[in-house]
Structure formats: structure tokens, C-alpha cells
Amino acid sequence: MNVRALLETPHRSVHWSLVGKLRTGTAKGDPGQCFAEWRKLLSWDVATKAPHVFTEAVGHVAHLVLAGRLEATQVCQLLTALVVAPQGGRRSSVEATAVSAVVQALVQLLSAGADQLVLSPGRSARDNILRLALERNPSLWIHVLQHIRDLVAPSALTHSAGVDTDRAPAQSPEAIWANVRIFLRYAVLDPTVPAWAQGRAVNTVFGALHELARAGRDGLGYGHALAMLEWAVNVAADMVQPIGSPGPDPESAPCVADVQGRCDPHQLTMLCVDAAEYLCSLAVSSDPSDEGGAQASLHCLAAIVSRLRLLTASMSLTDLFSSDQTRQTHSPRMSGDRSTLAASQMRLLRSALRLLERCPNDATDGAECASPDVL
């Protein structure tokens, strides 16, 4: 393709004609040569003078990866480089359109299992592609999280928001969450992720969780909310220090007031408790028509509540052990955490009793969710 001729021609009809010929000519050709031709259109010159062509090229390259014709790593690196590069001197409207198109493609690849976005093969976590983008263009992180929320929220489940359904193969909500949660786990647990970015990731998860729960007690939304809550509980458990390990200095450790800063295990656990209590209130106050599906959801929620009760008990013991080791038994932070943990344990107990009224007697005895692999 003659990119110079494309850039020197202002008429859109000519642009679409050239793109159509390129699409036809590379439909069944060698994947490497096909990528080389489309790659010529992935530049800021094309984005500035023919943004519709740039958007088409980005979407088509992502489609080739999803169709198995291109290897994901090189495409992820190329797309990320477009939004990581210094961005001075470009019109904000052009930049916003281009970044939106690239991020949409990146999230399509992420939801399809492109782990290269999270961790490049043979590299450390700090060198992964999205980490690089986060350091050089923080707005990309915000865009990615917004698109992820669109994918897992009810509007995404029903209208495929953020996904070009003419290009990308249809994916079940379960498959989308199974792949997206890999990135979210990295975003929450990796200590190299800045506090503000981690906080936005946590807000994305719980914001989508509550939106899904509100979508309907008997619909897909409630089941996905349960899956997200189970994932969050497991992540919180991984953040908690085991009993016997040296704890932080209670006087120097800052108290996290909200999720705009670094989210610590205590705060993440409290968010899980809030969500579990909310889901429980929805479950016990409804009169579901699908009795079998309702019982499965109740059993799953009972298992999550049971896990949370164990987690909060473990955290209470850890706090007691740490205070004994450091002799800081009257730390305001630790006293506040203990009070909150005690209150949360009472809330979880009430939730467990309410679930027991709706479930068979063995509902909380060894109950498990249908999809235990939520890591």
C-alpha cells in the first residue's frame, strides 16, 4: 500500500477504496506479509490525517490475532507502543479517538486470553507491556479498566459493549471474566503497581460487582457477581500475611481511608464483607422462580461467606500476634482494625444464619461454588 498517496488524498471514498483493496488482497495471504501491509497504517501520521483508516487498521489487526492468524505478542507490543510513546503536538480529539481504538483492541485481546498484556514471555512483572504503558501514559490504565468494566457489566453482557461483534468471535461472559481476572489479579497484588492504579482496579471490580448484582437476582448478573466476589475473597486471602510472619510497624503503617490510595488486606476484606452482605440481602429477600438455580447460588454464597468468616478470624489472630510481638497493644490503627473485624464477623454470622434459613441444613457444610477456579 502506498501510504504517502493515502495521506495526500483528502477524500474518504479513496481511503475506503484503498482499505477495501488491502482487505481483499490480504484475506488469504501469508500472515506475516498481511501484518506488514496493515502495519503501515498504524502510525500517528495516518491517525492524524485519516483517523477512520487508522481505526479500521487497528481493529483488523486485532481481528487477525483473535482469528489465530497472527501471534499476539508482536501485535500487543505494537499497539501498546502507539499509546506509550510521547504524545506532544497532537490534537486532543485525534489522540482521544486513536487511543480509544487502540485500547479497545487491547482489551479485546486481553479478554481473549492474551497474557502478553500482563506478562511478556521471559520478562519480569515490571517489564510487562501494560506496566510500561502505566509508567509512560497513565491514562491508558484508566481506559483499560473502563473497557474491562464495560465487558463484565450487564450492558456488555447484553449488548457486547466495547467489542466489535463483526470482528471478534462471540465469547461467553464466563470466558471473558476468566481472562480479564488474570490482569485484575496482577493489578491488585503486584506491589510495583502504583497505589492510585491499584485503587482504580479495586474500584472497577466492586463497581462492576454491584452493577451486576443490581441487574437481577435471577439473571446472569447475580451469578457473575458471585464469581467476582469469590475471586476478590481469594485475592484478599493472598494479601493477608500468615500468622507468625513479621507484621508492619503499626505506628508507621498509614491507615487507608478509601480506595484512592493503596488497598490493604483489611480494606479489601471489608469490601468483600460489604458485597457479601449485599448479595445475601438480595438472595433472601427474593422469591426466585428457578428454584434449582437459586439453590445453587445460595450454596455458592454460603461458601463465600464461610470463607470470609475464616479470613476475618485469621486476620484477627494475626493482629493479636503482631501486637504481642511488637508490644504495640494500644495502637489506634490496630484497635480500629480489631473493632471493624469484630463487627464484620457479626455481620457475616447474621448473613450465614439468613442463608441457612433459605438453604437446606447442609447448605453451608462443605458448600462450594460451581467454578472454584477463580484465581
pLDDT tens-digit series, residues 295-309: 777 788 888 888 888
Asked whether 337 and 316 are in contact (CB, 8 A), the reply is no
CA angle 80, 82, 84 (to 5 degrees): 65
220: pLDDT confidence band, cut at 50, 70 and 90? low
Burial 211-235 (b: 16+ CB within 10 A, else e): bbbebebeebbbbbbbbbbbbbbbb
Share of the chain above pLDDT 90, in %: 2
Asked whether 173 and 157 are in contact (CB, 8 A), the reply is yes
- Taking 80 as the threshold, does the pLDDT of residue 196 lie above it? yes
**Model pTM?**
0.69
Mean pLDDT in the chain? 71
- Taking 70 as the threshold, does the pLDDT of residue 247 lie above it? no
Q: At 104, phi and psi to the nearest 5? A: -60, -40
Question: Grid coordinates representing 206?
Answer: 466492586
CA angle 94, 96, 82 (to 5 degrees): 85
219: pLDDT confidence band, cut at 50, 70 and 90? low
Q: Write down the pLDDT at residue 186.
A: 82
Nearest to 269 by CA among 213, 211, 309, 225: 309
Q: Write down the pLDDT at residue 135.
A: 76
What whole-number distance in Å separates Cα of residue 84 and Cα of residue 115? 19
Q: Which distant-in-sequence residues (6+ apart) come within 8 Å of 264 by Cβ?
A: 239, 256
Q: What is the mean pLDDT of residues 89-102?
A: 74
